[in-house]
Amino acid sequence: MKALVKLWRNPLSKVSMTVVGGAFFVSIFGYVLAPDSTKNANVMSLPLAQKPMGFSVDVLVVTQEISHSFWDYFTGHSFRGKVIPVSEHQVGESKITYTEYVGEGSRGLSKEIPIAENIEIKHKTFWLGTDRFGRDLLSRLILGTRVSVSVGFISVFISLLVGIPLGLLAGFYRGKVDSVIMWLINVIWSIPTLLMVIALTLALGKGFWQVFVAVGLTMWVEVARVVRGQVLSLREREFVEAARVLGFSDFRIMAKHILPNAITPVIVISAANFAAAILIESGLSFLGIGAQPPMASWGTMIKDHYPFLIMGKPYLALLPGFCIMLLVLSFMLIGNGLRDALDVRKAS
């Protein structure tokens, strides 16, 4: 608790914790906050493609099927139907007369449709504009936060689940156990991280969950090395010798006496691994082997829109890039702050 108080007193760490806390909140309640609450915010309308920030238009929504349940607020509404942007509309007693929106300075065809319960006129504002498929950019950015935070969280969890036990075993038993585990660590360590992730992704298949496993299985080596180094120094301490004399089992000594004293550097490295996982996931999505369309991912958004950097609408690629940079920087600053706050050698 004292470490968290010291961390909060650091201005940079305070801002970073606010950003990370906001990212977690947005990832949980993304569909509540997003203007487009359908699954993956994937409602397309090509006449609305690449519209500027703040663009407003009336749309005719024809719903064929839409879900209504409590879980939709966390998983998105299932929407089947079509959204038709209109430049003019008139509601009569039995029908709606409308003119399709086809772009500025152009006039679309006038059509009629009977009034029904599954038909309504809405006014939509695209606060950050639309992407090249006419989807709401703000909604896609919000849901992209969920992908990045989820990959980071689960990847770090997998790395801890694998790395901590192996590091404990290697450092506590030494000898042949240490040699085998260190050989495995060195083999994994010698392979470039991105190549390893790409190989695992191709072996497991493209997809959201495969990225979790692939990224997590490449990060455990750092955790294992750090834990092993801590255990090697702690296993010779007096309190461990006292536990052996009292007849405690090796499992109890490792779990209740050594691990709590070795966990501080693991917490710090986990913050750095969280940032690395976000970068790796974005890179994989940019290459097309990460989160697959229509899932909203910041890396995929950059891939879809990087040509617009020189085509007059650079923000389509810069906004998701800025989100990646902000979140990664926040986790790195939190890691640095944790390192200073948990360093017992520094004066409080």
pLDDT at 348: 46
Q: Domains in the chain, start-ordered, CATH in brackets?
A: 43-135 (no CATH), 138-341 (1.10.3720.10)
Mean pLDDT in consecutive groups of 10 residues from the start of the chain, 348 residues: 73 90 94 91 90 93 74 83 88 87 80 85 93 94 94 92 94 93 91 81 78 85 93 90 90 91 89 92 87 89 91 91 95 87 60
Please give the order of strands across the beta sheet that includes 79-91: 110-114, 95-100, 79-91, 55-66, 119-126
Which amino acid is residue 253, in one-letter code? I
237-296 confidence digits (pLDDT tens): 898 989 989 889 999 999 999 998 888 889 889 999 999 999 988 988 898 888 888 899
Q: d(Cα 146, Cα 25) in Å, to the nearest integer?
A: 9
pLDDT at 303: 93
pLDDT at 3: 66
pLDDT at 1: 62
Q: d(Cα 224, Cα 213) in Å, to the nearest integer?
A: 17
Do 135 and 305 touch, CB atoms closer than 8 A? no
